[in-house]
Structure 1
Amino acid sequence: MTTARFDRAPGDQSIATEQEATSSGILVYSIGLVFALILTAISFWVANTTLLWGPGVPLGLAVLAIAQMGIHLVFFLHITTGTDNTNNVLALAFGVLIVLLVVAGSLVIMTNLNSSMMPPGDLMDMQMKY
């Protein structure tokens, strides 16, 4: 019995196709690893150099961190905008929304608590009275 090249059930892969997928997967992971290592090395350089303007260092590290997250999402978690990844992209967007809400809420609470704190001078006077 002869089998045609395209006469396969969905998900039924031949050995040659599995080997191609494995070598392609290793290449994608290797490229991601190289990019991640380069961004990590640049981050350490930015944090330890005096060549950059001091107040710009945190901004540079934030940009490099966002780039690092993008590398991990694309190369390691395989989250793309393809039609088969719609649920992954929606889950990622929902997760980012929750994290942003938690961070923003925490900043609002900390700012409010900071303005409600008693000044240290008044606190010292209160301790001396008792």
Structure 2
Amino acid sequence: MAKQNNSGYPVSHIIGFIASLVMTFAAVGIALKTNLSFTVIMWLIGSLAMLQAGMQLFMFMHVTEGKDGKANLINMAYSFFLAVVVVGGSIWILTSGHMAH
């Protein structure tokens, strides 16, 4: 990850911004200019979105910097796990018919 130089110019922010734009335009291009199936397009756009969100956590929010960098990563991983369990469990319960008598 690029650090700021002595003049205070935010090199990492510029790199992150350009990378975000590239991923956004790639998603638009995939959605509008390809003849792929809807499912494949959605998977590609979702993958680019997750990649972009992760990159922004490191480039703009400086997750790993400071004395609590490792704790921040662990807390975010646990939060993601809880979100997956809650959403997945809710979808499972609502769609599996357990409440039908």
TM-score range, shorter chain: 0.7 to 0.9
Instruction: Give the number of aligned pairs.
Output: 97
Q: Which blocks of at least 5 consecutive residues in structure 1 are unaligned?
A: 1-18, 117-130
Q: Which blocks of at least 5 consecutive residues in structure 2 are unaligned?
A: none
Aligned to 1:50: 34
Quote the offset at 1:21 in angstroms.
7.2
Structure 2 letter corresponding to 1:92: M
Quote the offset at 1:106 in angstroms.
2.1
Aligned to 2:6: 20
Tell me which of 55, 78, 92 is aligned to 1:108: 92
Structure 2 letter corresponding to 1:45: G
Quote the offset at 1:109 in angstroms.
2.2
> Comparing 54-63 with 39-48, which one deviates more in the overlay?
54-63
Q: Does 1:87 align with 2:87?
A: no
- What TM-score comes out, normalization by structure 2 length? 0.77
- What TM-score comes out, normalization by structure 1 length? 0.62
Q: RMSD across aligned C-alpha pairs, in angstroms?
A: 2.8
Counterparts of 2:92 and 2:68, CA distance in 1: 38
